[in-house]
Structure 1
Amino acid sequence: MQNTDYNIAVIEDDEIQLTSLVDALQQQGFTVTPFTNREDAEAYFAETLPDLVISDIILGSEIDGGFDLAKHLLSYNQPIPIIFLSERQSEFDIYTGHALGAIDYLPKPISLNVLIVKVKNLLRITSVPKSQNSNDEESKIPLLRLAPEQFKAYWHDKALDLTATEFEMLKQFATAGENAVISYDALQASTQGVVERNTINTHICRIRNAFKKVTPEFDLIHNEYGRGYSWQSKED
């Protein structure tokens, strides 16, 4: 796919920063739809869902406007990847962003070059053609089913609440099978570099919590100290 095939929504209340972001993305050939507030963005989403959302957290008088926007996007059946840009860098804010489905949470002032690379990598993940009949995509873990073409996974026949990158990470466990150790490098590589090494644990926590929504006693993904993670065949 060409970059022009992608529609990116950018929500930023600072018009100078908004113009800078829009210009940088348009120079790469992306179709960009800009907004300065949450309400206009949500009205647009009701008619057209973008391929990617890039949003500030503080939008005008709304301290958590970006978070509220992310909550709104969760109401759609189609998962929409989000990249947050914010000066707020507390552990709580970063965790909240990822808990609401954010693919990434980048600090301001943002490096436009870094942002462009992350955007391209993320869209590469979500646009890779999937074969419904490929053995490479089949889960070797009992009761865990993959639907790669939809970036969805099912546990006990119930859909898990995962972002596209979290699905790609979970797929490493599913296709490797029980007791196989998935290295940190493999988990990062599975997301085309979208997930940073220092945020892998946050995403693993999100994946575990998705399983716990279906089976509260879930405790099958174990940390292998210094090596990565594994899916254990039996709970301790």
Structure 2
Amino acid sequence: MQNTEYRIAIIEDDPIQLKTLVTALQQQGFNVDAFADRPSAEKSFAEKLPNLVISDIILGAEMDGGFDLAKHLLSYNQPIPIIFLSERQSEFDIYTGHALGAIDYLPKPISLNVLIVKVKNLLRITSSNACVDQDDEKSKIHDLELVGNQFKAYWHGKALDLTATEFEMLKQFATAGEGNVITYDTLQKSTQGVVERNTINTHICRIRNAFKKITPEFNFIHNEYGRGYSWQNKEE
């Protein structure tokens, strides 16, 4: 797909930073919708959802405006990738961002070159997924179903609350089957570099919690020390 087929929403209350982000992404050929606050962005989303959202955390008087926006996006029946940009870099803020479905959490001041690469890699995941043979995505794990073209997974018939990136990571377990080690490199490559090595554990934690919302006793994704993770239908 060409960049012109993608629509990116940017929410940033600083007009200079907003203009800089819009210009940089438009120069790459993306369609960009710019918003200075959360309410105007949410109003636009009600009419048409973007392919990707890039948002600051503090939006005007709303200290957690970006987080509230992410909560709103979770109400839609499809995963919308989010990249947070923020000066707030506490472990709690970063964890909260990922827990609300963020694909990435980048510090300000940002590197435009890094942001553009991450955007392109992320959107490449969503476009390439449609070209994959669905037989290659069939789950080998009992009671776990994948719907690749929708980036959705179902556990015991119930939808798992996952981002597109987390779906790609879970797919590695599902297609490999029980007992096979999914290495850290494989998990990172499955997201085409969107997920950093040091945030894989956070995403795995979110995946586990998504399962636990359906079956609280879930304990099938096990850490393989120094190697990665595996799906094991047994107690650790």
State the match for 1:201 in structure 2.
201
5+ unaligned residues in a row in structure 2: which ranges?
Answer: none
Alignment of 1:60-79 (within 5 A): 60-79=60-79
Alignment of 1:1-236 (within 5 A): 1-130=1-130, 134-236=134-236
Give the Cα–Cα distance (whole angstroms) in 1 for the partners of residues 23 and 33 of structure 2: 11
**Structure 2 residue matching 1:115: 3-state secondary structure:** helix
Matched residues, number? 236
What's the Cα RMSD here?
1.1
Of 108-117 and 125-134, the range deviating more from structure 2: 125-134
Are the counterparts in 2 of residues 52 and 80 from structure 1 also a CA contact under 8 Å? yes
Give the Cα–Cα distance (whole angstroms) in 2 for the partners of residues 34 and 134 of structure 1: 36
**Cα offset, 1:126, TM superposition:** 1.0
Pick closer, same or farther for the CA change 1:133–1:186 going to 2, 3 Å: closer
Are the counterparts in 1 of residues 3 and 28 from structure 2 also a CA contact under 8 Å? yes
Give the Cα–Cα distance (whole angstroms) in 2 for the partners of residues 131 and 24 of structure 1: 28
Give the Cα–Cα distance (whole angstroms) in 2 for the partners of residues 95 and 154 of structure 1: 24
Query: TM-score if structure 2 supplies the norm length?
Result: 0.98
Q: Give aligned-pair identity as a percent.
A: 81
Which ranges of 4 or more aligned residues in structure 1 deviate by more than 2 Å? 129-135, 233-236
5+ unaligned residues in a row in structure 1: which ranges?
Answer: none
Of 127-136 and 53-62, the range deviating more from structure 2: 127-136
**Structure 1 residue matching 2:47: 3-state secondary structure:** coil
